[in-house]
Amino acid sequence: MAASAREDGARGPKQGRRGCEHYDRGCLLKAQQTCEECSTLFGEYYCSICHLFDKDKKQYHCENCGICRIGPKEDFFHCVKCNLCLAMNLQGKHKCIENVSRQNCPICLEDIHTSRVVAHVLPCGHLLHRGYRCPLCMHSALDMTRYWRQLDDEVAQTPMPSEYQNMTVDILCNDCNGRSTVQFHILGMKCNICESYNTAQAGGCRISLDQQ
């Protein structure tokens, strides 16, 4: 569809020329990559579907996503169930959630599907722009093993007061969904099943009978 070249006002000499002389004089232009009169290139990349002009960033148009994405195309595949283009190294190795990208990032609230910011595919299948724990299911977003071992050292070096040393508490692990009874510690309670500190207290504190 033809669009008026002066929809938003042609630029004068002081503002600098936009496009070519045929654009500045206010003729009608069809959305295309070059000027039919002088072959001036309006954009290194042009999508005739999205009518997107841009510098060459190895873009490609994904028909299933319905938008242009930054490539190169051979580095990505479209997951039909997730309804999103993902890196090739995730093919067959990610948890699919139907239409997972058709929502806002639960942390920054930006639309994930159209965002230029790369979304991280978490082990739980949800998408985040950034963060260490999924706010939707509370699973750890990254491999936290190294951090859990640091917490082990901090717990060992921080003894609790004598009245709390034999206090136990029931916990629920957000990573493995297991339940266990562990010693209470102010720095964190470690899951007995997967050794994660991503846990939540699931019951009251108890003191062993020999301390009562």
**What pLDDT digit, counting tens, does each position of 110-139 carry?**
888 888 887 888 888 888 887 888 988 999
Q: How many domains does the chain have?
A: 3
**51-56-58-61 Cα dihedral, nearest 10 degrees:** 0
Q: Are residues 91 and 66 in the same domain?
A: no
pTM: 0.56
- Summarised one tens digit per residue, pLDDT across range 16-67 is 555 566 555 555 556 777 777 787 877 889 888 888 888 898 999 999 999 9
Tell which of 17, 52, 71 closes a domain: 71
Q: Which domain holds residue 181?
A: 144-207
In a domain, residue 18? The reply is no
- Residue that finishes a domain, picked among 115, 142, 169: 142
* Residue 53 in domain: yes
The CATH number given to whatever domain includes residue 157 is 2.20.28.10
Q: Which residues of 81-90 are buried (b: 16+ CB within 10 A; e: fewer)?
A: ebbbbbeeee
